[in-house]
Amino acid sequence: MSSNELLLATEYLEKEKKIPREVLIDAIEAALITAYKKNYDSARNVRVELNMDEGIFKVIARKNVVEEVFDDRDEIDLSTALVKNPAYEIGDIYEEDVTPSDFGRVGAQAAKQAVMQRLRDAEREILYDEFIDKEEDIVTGLIDRVDHRYVYVNLGRTEAVLSEAERSPNEKYIPNERIKVFVNKVEQTTKGPQIYVSRSHPGLLKRLFEQEVPEIFDGTVIVKSVAREAGDRSKISVHADNPDIDAVGACVGSKGARVEAVVEELGGEKIDIVQWDEDPKVFVRNALSPSQVLEVIVDEENQSTIVVVPDYQLSLAIGKRGQNARLAAKLTGWKIDIKSESDAREAGVYPSNSSDDVATESIELDEENEDNNLDA
């Protein structure tokens, strides 16, 4: 590497890759010292003087000034040091140019390797910085290939991996197809950033709604919680601080266009959009949609609820394989025990308040009053 090439390379790294000049100089000096010790090893303690503009470097040996020398690679006697400079004293550091005559070729190769290594490091750092900012966000890529472990997604300058556990069961992954993925985790490795992505994470659903619903993107409508069984069904709760804004309606969109766009992206996955409420009775009732709920009995201490539903709505409230109840519990953060109306009455957790009972009670009171009047 000529002096001009060295200068151009360092200027490129400094301007384009934002690597400080001092960092580059330190890297080159360290490489030159390593090259010197590997090829010559005539002094243990050396430093390098580097002229970046001219591409010239010198190797300077540093020795302790002593009265008696035991190791001439580390020490120099006072009398010898005084020949060079009468100011030397015992304990000073004596410096001497020990640059080998053929070190130019060795040093140039070491400098080139140091610059190239720093360039590779810079590329890895830039990629890492770019994608660490995308953690818990959506990126779009191209399916590159599929093997027994991963789906490999090409993101342009790097590649992400989609493990089997993070795939949606209802999806097929075909090479060269475009795909949106949720960035789960980004790790820095010696080969560059390792990016792990997901198609089953609840965060994917949330980010897709952010893309489709401007009110969510600008914060007018807030996604409070998401519960998802990827490929089958999900629930998402939303809220707007402004009472004039219909949070659920904003997510559904005109003629269901917004939610349908998300459903299509997720391969037909069913999505329930429910209104969040700070009152757990109301929130749990909403979360069990589309089933009808008669009563929600809250146990604050145990963070649990008993939900009473009409007998004919019991299977709908629980859902296929318990899915509706399970998703509602995940969405609200409350344990949910669903009971039919008849079972709840029998257990004494849902008292009878029917109109027939009220009418019977009124008749009995009238008869009692009539008897009292006759006695009078």
Indicate which CATH number applies to the domain containing 10. Answer: 3.30.1480.10
Closest of 146, 210, 136 to residue 177, by C-alpha: 146
Same domain, 74 and 122: yes
Same domain, 54 and 162: no
User: What's the pLDDT score for residue 367?
Assistant: 46
The verdict on residue 362 lying in a domain is no
Helix (H) or strand (E) run with residue 188 in it:
strand 178-189
User: What's the pLDDT score for residue 41?
Assistant: 67
Q: Is the CB of residue 247 less than 8 Å from the CB of residue 213?
A: no
User: What's the pLDDT score for residue 25?
Assistant: 82
Same domain, 269 and 304: no
User: What's the pLDDT score for residue 33?
Assistant: 84
Same domain, 87 and 165: no
pTM above 0.85, yes or no: no
| Overall domain count for the chain | 4
Same domain, 15 and 77: yes
Walk along the chain (376 residues) in steps of 10 and give the mean pLDDT of each run: 65 76 81 82 77 78 89 87 90 87 76 77 84 94 93 93 94 94 93 93 96 95 97 96 95 95 95 96 95 94 95 95 96 96 90 50 44 44
User: What's the pLDDT score for residue 2?
Assistant: 53
The verdict on residue 46 lying in a domain is yes
Same domain, 221 and 332: no
Cβ contacts of 323 within 8 Å, gap of 6 or more: 229, 232, 233
User: What's the pLDDT score for residue 69?
Assistant: 87
User: What's the pLDDT score for residue 111?
Assistant: 75
Same domain, 31 and 99: yes
Same domain, 119 and 154: no
Same domain, 112 and 45: yes
Domain ranges, residue 155: 136-194
Same domain, 117 and 174: no
Q: Domain of 148: which CATH number?
A: 2.40.50.140
The verdict on residue 247 lying in a domain is yes
Q: Is the CB of residue 341 less than 8 Å from the CB of residue 311?
A: yes
Q: Domain of 246: which CATH number?
A: 3.30.300.20
The verdict on residue 363 lying in a domain is no
Q: Is the CB of residue 162 less than 8 Å from the CB of residue 153?
A: yes
Same domain, 183 and 248: no
Same domain, 29 and 90: yes
